[in-house]
Amino acid sequence: MLHLSQQLKLLQKLTPQQIQYLKLLQLPTLSLEQRIKTELEINPMLEEGAEDELELQQDDTTTEEGEAEVEATPEEPVAAKKEDEFTFEDFLNDDVNYTPKSEVNNDEDREDYPIPASEPLAQKLRDQLQLGDLTEKGMLVANEIIGNIDEDGYLHRDITDIVNDINLSLQMHITVPMAEEVLSIIQRLEPIGIGSRTLQECLLVQLEAIDCDEDLRDRAITMLTDHFDAFTKKHFEVVAKIMGLQLDDIKQVLTLISHLNPKPGEGTISTQENYLTPDFIVSKDDGDFIIQLNDKNVPPLRINRNYRNLISKRKNGVTPDTKLFLRQKFEAAKWFIASIHQRRDTMLRVMRTIVERQRHFFEHGEGLKPLIYKNIAEAILMDISTISRVVNGKYVQTDYGVYELRHFFSEGITCTSGEEVANKEVKERIREILTSEDPHKPFSDDRIAEVLNEQGYNIARRTVAKYRESMMLPVARLRRKI
C-alpha cells in the first residue's frame, strides 16, 4: 500500500557555474592558459581581446527576451593604442632611420628558445648494440631487457621471467645463461651500470670499467663484494680491521666509490626544462608590498559581437535551433568570464592575507609564524576548502626566492619565552645544527633536542626524530664520516 508524505530537508548543492569556478580556482597559471585556449576552441561566442569604449557604450542593449546583456569586459582591459597600428603608407616610408615600435627589444616578452629534441635512453642503448656482434636472438633478448629498465636505470624484473615471456610469445628456446650474458653486455654500455639489478651490482660494474689505481680498485671491489652490509651501515672500523687496512686507506676507497653513479638511468635536465612559473609576484616598495597575479599571458576575453547581434535581432534569417545554440554558448561564455574574474579576486585576497600574516618572512626571508588554512578562511570569510584550492600547486616569487604557498602554512611550537614559532623554523634550526656538527662524531637526536632546548625551543627527542625524517636526513650513524 502506498503512503504519501511530505518531508522538509535542507540541502546544499553546487550549481554548474560554481563547479566551473572551483575547477578554475585550483588551476595554476600554465594550466589556466591551456584551459582558456580549450574554451576558445569549443565556444564560438568567446574571443580574445578587450572591449573598446564604443562597444562598452553599446552594452546596455537587451536580448530578445528582454534580458540585459552582461558586460563581458575583463577587470583590467588593455586596449591597443591607435598609434601602435601601422597603415600601408608606413611600409612605404623612405626614411632609412625609421624604426617601428615593434622592433624595440624587450627581454621580458622575448619568446623562449625552442628546447632541442633528445633521444630516449632506450634508443641510445639499442643504437650501441647495433655496433656489436649480437645475434638475432641476442637482440630480441636485449630489446626485452631494455624495455624493462626503470627510470633510475635498474632492472627490477627477474631475468627468468623475461626469458619465459620470450619463449612463450615467440616460441623460441632462450636459456637463462644466454640472457645473463646479454645483460652483462648491456650493463657495460653507456651509461655504465645501466640494467643492474641491485646497487651493489651497479657499483661493481662501474668499478670494473673505471680507470684508476689497480690496488685501490681491488680494495673497493673487495669491500663491495664481501663487506657490503657493513659498508652500507658505515661500520668502517670493522671493515678496516677485517681487511687489515688503516682508516686512511678506507677513506681513499670510500672517495673512489663516492664518484660512482648510483642511478645511471637519470638523465640531464636542461635549464629550459627545469623551471616553474610563479602564480604570484610579491615585491617590496617603500615599506609596503606590491602583490601581482602573474597572468600576463592570460588573454582578456570578450563576447563575440557578431554572434551576439544574431541573438538580439528578431528577424535575421536564423533558425530557432541556431538561436538556442548561440544562447547556450552565450550563457556559458558569460559564466566563464565571470569565473575568471572571481578566481582572480579570490586568489589576490588569499595572497594579501598570507603576506599580512607572514610579513616578517617577506621582509627578512625568515621567521615564519604558525599559520593554518582556518586562519585565512576566517579572515576573508571563505570556506577552508576554497583556501586549499588556492594554495595547492601555486607558487609565489619573493625577494628571497620562489616558494610554494603551502610553505607558509605550518603548526606552531611554543618556546620557553611563550612565543609561538612555526615548525618549519624548528626544522631549519635542526638543519643548521647538523651542518655545524663534527662529522666524526655526529649529534644524536637526544643531543639535538638538548641544543634546541638551550636555544629556547621546547621540543622532545621524538619530535626531533620526526622532523629529521621529514627532511630526509639520516640518523647519526649514517652521517658519520672518516
Domains 120-197 and 412-479 equal at CATH topology level: yes
Grid cell digits, residue 188: 657495460
Strand order in the sheet with 401-404: 288-293, 280-285, 395-398, 401-404
Question: Which tens digit of pLDDT belongs to each residue from 308-318?
Answer: 887 776 656 67
What is the Cα–Cα distance from 166 to 144, expressed in whole angstroms? 8
- Helix and strand totals (H; E) in the chain: 21, 8
Query: Are the beta carbons of 340 and 20 closer than 8 angstroms?
Result: no
> What is the model's pLDDT at position 245?
86
Tens of pLDDT, residues 199-219 = 999 999 999 888 888 899 999
pTM, to two decimals? 0.63
CATH of 120-197, one of 3.30.1330.100, 1.25.40.80, 3.30.230.10, 1.10.10.1330: 1.10.10.1330
Question: According to the model, what pLDDT value does residue 274 have?
Answer: 60
Domain ranges of the chain: 16-74+276-409, 120-197, 211-259, 412-479
Query: CA 264 to CA 153: how far, in whole Å?
Result: 5
**DSSP-assigned letter for residue 78:** -
Angle between helices 320-357 and 384-391 (to 10 degrees): 90
- CATH of the domain spanning 412-479: 1.10.10.60
Burial of 467 per CB tally in 10 Å (0-12, 13-18, 19+): buried
Residues of the chain with pLDDT under 50: 53-111
| DSSP-assigned letters across all residues of 342-401 | HHHHHHHHHHHHHHHHTHHHHHHS--PPPB-HHHHHHHHT--HHHHHHHHTT-EEEETTE
Q: What is the pLDDT of residue 90?
A: 45
Among residues 155, 165, 160, the alpha carbon closest in space to that of 176 is found at: 160
Within 8 A by CB and 6+ apart from 59, the residues are 51, 69, 71, 73
Paired sense of beta strands 401-404 and 395-398, if any: antiparallel
